[in-house]
Structure 1
Amino acid sequence: MNIIIAADSFKGSATSFEVAEFIEKGIKRVEPSAIITKLPLADGGEGTVDALVTALNGKYLTKQVTNPLGEKVTAEFGVMESDIAVIAMAEASGLTLIKNEDKNPFKTTTYGTGELIKAALDYGVKEIFVGIGGSATNDAGVGMAQALGVSFKDRNHKEIGFGAEALESIEYIDASNIDRRIKDTKITVFSDVTNPLCGKNGASYVYGPQKGASDEDVEKLDQLLSRYGKILEEQLNIDIIDNEGAGAAGGLGAGLIAFCEAEIYSGIDKVLKMIKLEKYMKSADLVITGEGKMDFQSVQGKAPLGVAKIAKQYKIPVVAVVGSEGANIIDVYNHGIDLVIDIINKPMSLNEAMEDVNELIENAGEKVIRAFTLNNKQFKIEEELV
């Protein structure tokens, strides 16, 4: 039996590689002879660096950078084939880097992401992949641009500070001193969302609440981004407010488009091509995927549905192991997922689930293989009766 395990991370509790290992252990309890191929996944957020470095035999480099609240943190990025780098903005500017009580999209900055890009340029790469999921920020990538040499000054010609609140002070933008190596480097953005910068479907309204914004806050944040977008258009002739993906990562998508001439692609589509998932599908009997929470948003470019789309081209059954099920889970069954198995086996708190995540995922892995072998036995019985 050939089984592919290609799951995303369970944010805050298990990396994509750990999830695959736990599922494998559960399978081996029932089918010790199963041949299992583990392909760590990510769609641009947490785990993107791990997924590509593992799949492409790359290496890790570290750099001390600025975290969302302006403190120092050590972040990793990957290098493959000597001249390609992969960066996850979550490593420097991610929500997991700050405590719940410290969430504040008016204060958080993407400056550290710019420092990571600069570190990759210092290494001499010619192409950079930037995953922009899991952000703690809403500064439209201004911090990132500052780290690369772009100047944003207030009416007194003083450099503005960090965070979305500083956008209100911007009067002058000068990109003449941006790192010149940017022009000679291809930058590709991995994103799982297509939101514009502003409006009810923009960065602030859709993602601001998970970063600590109240209803009143999101309205103010949206106004700040709109004001900034207009200044960009007036002074640099860059119109990015309505671009698809400009609102990703609190507007970091807009910043990367405006100052790095980046192109935005579906994160999972790009990652699946790079790890050559389709090559492994040709000999697979079963595909197991998964993510921390599966709900109606999962059909909008999330990793498991990308896996299922390819598997269905080869008529391979797909089971998703998930940390929890959200609203309208039935939607995923119309997009290639055959069965969803929730790892929660009794009433428990989130903290309990995170502490016992290895055992819970192992048990789910065992359930997957038992369900699959039972279905095969039933199929054989029906075939014999015919």
Structure 2
Amino acid sequence: MSQLIASRPARILIAPDSYKGSATAEAVARNIALGWSSVRGQDHIQLAPMADGGEGTIDALKSIYPSADRRPIRVAGPGGQPVEAEWLYLPPAFGSRGSTGVVELASTSGITLLEHLSPLDAQSTGFGQAIVAALEAGVSRLVLGIGGSACTDGGAGMLQELGYRFLDKNDKPIRPGNRGLSDAVCVDASAVLPLPENGVVVLTDVTNPLTGPNGSAAVFAPQKGASRQDIPLMDSALEHFAALFSIDPQTTGAGAAGGTGFGLMVWGADMKSGAEEIASLLNLPSRVKHADLLITGEGRFDRQSDLGKVVGQLRRTAAAFDVPVALVAGAIGSETEGFSNAISLSDLAGDSRSAMADPETYLRIAGAELASSFAASS
């Protein structure tokens, strides 16, 4: 690690993602900091809870704009059941582009909202309802985080809330979820809501296309409960649905959130890297540059972590400034080359179940271990 002047406290930047279903990014950062301070209380610690468009996006943006207004809303969850959610209102005072509405798919149509996974029937309807609520409030710009989805419906549920009508051969609305996509024979876009005047920015951590071997069904549907037999049928349904539009289903990012990325492209939204966008809003490149150590993390570190997610984005940023970066993850399932240290909470706890049952304790232990290692090498 960096060789420090003995009299100068170290500058530690802690910028983790949330541990999905276990701990918020703020809780992760705070507990790592507590553990670190128990060993090196003299150091300067900055917390920068992160997100990449999935769970925690609203929390991350709320930390940047503390006066922003959380707007509660009840929507149809991914299984059709009502769920309590929220969207974030950023007043015009936060910029010259007017007010902004931030909507998070994870809190409206997310996988953690399902008691039992439902790969063929889960829908993005609630996400669309929250978007409409923000539009009705008069926002002039939308920021949409689309990670953590439960559905593989191509965004059809969301698009229906925005005014699209998908009809089957009997001129009836198609069934919800991926199951209904193959029934669609025509689309009526005559009553579609216009985009707000300053546009729609979509934050995503996924670059996959909608269909094919690297598509939404093949890569992500198994995480949502799909069987091996389900995958080709789901992919075929997405391909059939995509043929109703002029958007190429192989477009980068179209497969995000079970194809909700594709649906938002149909509406006219712009796709951006969620981790990169939020890091920029948090001024992280400058903060990393002046740090002696960056600590980041996520629930599970694996081969996908470098593909648009928080950990990969921050590791590249740190490398550009020759700043060492340490990883604290719930579980580690891939090589950790490029990190100065890597700690798995599952290893600390003995198994993943114990780690998830009490993540804050093991995060503090991890923070203390990193501080001890840093002290030994400084």
TM bucket (normalised to shorter chain) is over 0.9
Letter of the aligned partner of 1:68 in structure 2?
P
More helix by share: 1
Tell me if 1:178 matches 2:192. yes
- The answer as to whether partners of 2:330 and 2:352 remain within 8 angstroms in 1 is no
Q: 1:320 & 1:70 partners in 2: Cα distance? A: 38
Could you say if the C-alpha distance between residues 256 and 49 of structure 1 is closer, same or farther in structure 2, counting changes exceeding 3 Å? same
Tell me if 1:318 matches 2:307. no
Tell me if 1:31 matches 2:40. yes
How far the C-alpha of 1:18 sits from its partner, in A, is 0.3
Could you say if the C-alpha distance between residues 134 and 40 of structure 1 is closer, same or farther in structure 2, counting changes exceeding 3 Å? same
Matched residue, 2:61: 52
Q: 2:347 & 2:182 partners in 1: Cα distance? A: 49
- The answer as to whether partners of 1:26 and 1:366 remain within 8 angstroms in 2 is yes
Gaps in structure 2 of 5+ consecutive residues: 1-9, 93-98
- The answer as to whether partners of 1:56 and 1:275 remain within 8 angstroms in 2 is no
- The answer as to whether partners of 1:39 and 1:55 remain within 8 angstroms in 2 is no
Task: Identify which of 258, 261, 275 aligns with 2:266.
Answer: 258
Matched residue, 2:284: 277
Tell me if 1:156 matches 2:170. yes
Matched residue, 1:87: 103
Tell me if 1:9 matches 2:22. no
Secondary structure, counterpart of 1:176 in structure 2: coil
Secondary structure, counterpart of 1:184 in structure 2: coil
Tell me if 1:128 matches 2:142. yes
Q: 1:295 & 1:347 partners in 2: Cα distance? A: 19
Letter of the aligned partner of 1:88 in structure 2?
E
How far the C-alpha of 1:239 sits from its partner, in A, is 2.5
Q: 1:17 & 1:209 partners in 2: Cα distance? A: 29
Percent identical: 36
Tell me if 1:363 matches 2:377. no
Tell me if 1:63 matches 2:73. yes
Tell me if 1:77 matches 2:87. yes
Matched residue, 1:289: 296
Secondary structure, counterpart of 1:194 in structure 2: coil
Q: Deviations over 1:218-239 (max 9, x none)?
A: 110000011111122xxxxx12
RMSD: 1.4
Q: 1:339 & 1:353 partners in 2: Cα distance? A: 19
Equivalences for residues 106-145 of structure 1 within 5 A: 106-145=120-159
- The answer as to whether partners of 1:198 and 1:222 remain within 8 angstroms in 2 is yes
How many matched pairs? 362
- The answer as to whether partners of 2:135 and 2:196 remain within 8 angstroms in 1 is no
Task: Identify which of 40, 52, 56 aligns with 1:43.
Answer: 52
- The answer as to whether partners of 1:125 and 1:185 remain within 8 angstroms in 2 is no
Matched residue, 1:300: 307
- The answer as to whether partners of 1:53 and 1:79 remain within 8 angstroms in 2 is no
Task: Identify which of 241, 249, 253 aligns with 1:241.
Answer: 249
* TM-score computed with the length of structure 2 as normaliser: 0.92
Q: 1:186 & 1:306 partners in 2: Cα distance? A: 25
Matched residue, 2:225: 212
Matched residue, 2:96: none
Q: 2:79 & 2:346 partners in 1: Cα distance? A: 34
Following TM superposition, where does structure 1 have runs of at least 4 consecutive aligned residues deviating by more than 6 angstroms?
Answer: none
Q: 1:143 & 1:288 partners in 2: Cα distance? A: 38
How far the C-alpha of 1:4 sits from its partner, in A, is 0.7
Gaps in structure 1 of 5+ consecutive residues: 233-237, 377-386
Q: 1:264 & 1:196 partners in 2: Cα distance? A: 13
Letter of the aligned partner of 2:128 in structure 1?
G
Q: Deviations over 1:118-141 (max 9, x none)?
A: 111122211111111111101000
Q: 2:124 & 2:258 partners in 1: Cα distance? A: 9
Q: 2:74 & 2:208 partners in 1: Cα distance? A: 31
